[in-house]
Amino acid sequence: MEDFTKIVIEEFKFKADFLLELHFRDGKIQTIDFSKINYRGWMKELEELEYFNKVALNECGNLAWPNGQDFMPEYLYDWDKFKHLFIDNSV
């Protein structure tokens, strides 16, 4: 069974608009540019910087926003493997 405790985010830092540096429990640091994501449906609010900046860590150690938006922590931990699910490079 995989150890899911490593994907817990212990802290994050704003590096620029929509750019977050995530610090995971196992010491991994992942920098993600959320400005490149194609937000749809209930995630659309995240396009607004003022709302995006309301991000916080929830009780499970994951990024979360006031209206319930979040990303699966596995995706954030292995962003290079999963970012194609969120970024449309065909444009």
CATH fold label, 4-85 = NE0471 N-terminal domain-like (3.30.2020)
pLDDT at 91: 44
> Could you please report the per-residue DSSP string of 28-63?
-EEEEEGGG----GGGGGGGSHHHHTT-EE-TTS-E
Whether this model's pTM surpasses 0.85 = yes
Mean pLDDT of 71-76: 93
pLDDT of 55 above 60: yes
pLDDT at 89: 64
Higher confidence at residue 68 or residue 88? 68
- What are the sequence ranges of the domains in the chain? 4-85
Order across the sheet with 29-33: list the strands.
9-16, 19-24, 29-33
Q: pLDDT tens, 9-49?
A: 999 999 999 999 999 999 999 999 999 999 999 999 999 99
Q: What percent of the chain has pLDDT over 70?
A: 95
Distance CA 37, CA 46 (A): 9
Q: pLDDT tens, 13-23?
A: 999 999 999 99
